[in-house]
Amino acid sequence: MADPGLSVSTLIQFLDLFGTAAFAATGAFKAVEHKSDIVGIIILATITGVAGGVLRDVIFGRIPPVAIANPFYVIITIGMAVAIFFLYRSFKHYEGLILKFDAVGLGVFTIIGASFAYSVFGMNFLAMAFAGIVTAIGGGILRDVFVNEVPIVFVKELYASASFAGVVVFFGMLAAGVDVNVAAIPCIALVTGLRMFAMKYNWNLPRPRV
C-alpha cells in the first residue's frame, strides 16, 4: 500500500520511471540478442522505454510529452542499456528474465496510463482503458517490430487482455472511492501477476482454427 503522505504526482512519477527502466531492459536484452552494437542497444532500450508514454501524450494533447520534457527518462533508458551491455553474460542464464521485466513494465504502464487519463478526464472508462493499454503495449510493439519479430502482444499468452483487466479493477476501485495511491499498487500487481501466470500456465485467448 502506498504511503498516504506521498502525493499522487510523486508516486505516479516514481512508478513511471520504474516502468521505463523495466521496459528499457527488455529493449536492451532484445538488442543484445540480435547482436546490436552499443548504439543500437541504447536506441532500442530508449524506444521501448518511452514510446508508449510518448504516443499516449501525443494522442491526448500533452505537448511536449513527459518523456521528452523530463531528461530523467532518457537518462534511465541509457543507463539500463549500458548496464545490460556489460552485464548481459550474467543475466542470460536466467531463463525468461526478459519476459519477467516485460510483465512488470506491462503492469506499471497500464496503471500509469489509466491514472493519466483519470487526471485529465475523470471517471471516463474508455479514456482510461485506451490510455492504459496504449501506454502498456506501444513500446513493446515497436521493440519487436524493430528486431523483425511478430509483436508479443499478438501471439503470446494473455497480454493486452491482462492490461485491460487491470484497468477494469482500477476503475472499479476508484469508483468505490479508493484513493489513486492506494488503488495503483494492487492493480499493478494484478496485471503483472496475470501476465506471469499466463506465461507459466500457457493461458491463451481463443484463436481461429486454420
- pLDDT digit string, tens, across residues 121-144: 999 999 999 999 999 999 999 999
Whole-number Å distance between alpha carbons of 184 and 144: 28
Q: What's the one-letter identity of residue 37? A: D
Residue with cell 471516463: 124
pLDDT > 70 fraction of the chain, expressed in percent and rounded = 95
Q: What is the pLDDT of residue 2?
A: 38
Which structural domain, as residue segments, surrounds residue 162? 8-201
Q: What is the pLDDT of residue 95?
A: 61
Residue 180 lies in a domain: yes
Whole-number Å distance between alpha carbons of 179 and 159: 26
Q: What is the pLDDT of residue 163?
A: 96
Residue 33 lies in a domain: yes
Residue 1 lies in a domain: no
CB 143 within 8 A of CB 26: yes
Residue 207 lies in a domain: no
Question: How many domains, the chain?
Answer: 1
Q: Which residue has the higher pLDDT, 2 or 156?
A: 156
> What is the DSSP secondary-structure string of 144-167?
HHHTT---HHHHSSSSHHHHHHHH
Q: What's the one-letter identity of residue 196? A: M
Whole-number Å distance between alpha carbons of 90 and 85: 10
Q: What is the pLDDT of residue 3?
A: 42
Residue 208 lies in a domain: no
Chain centroid to Cα 110, Å, comes to: 6
**Cβ-based burial of 189 (10 A; exposed 0-12, middle 13-18, buried ≥19):** middle
CB 31 within 8 A of CB 44: yes
Categorize the per-residue pLDDT at 91 as very low, low, confident or very high, splitting at 50, 70 and 90.
Answer: confident
Residue 2 lies in a domain: no
Residue 30 lies in a domain: yes
Residue 206 lies in a domain: no
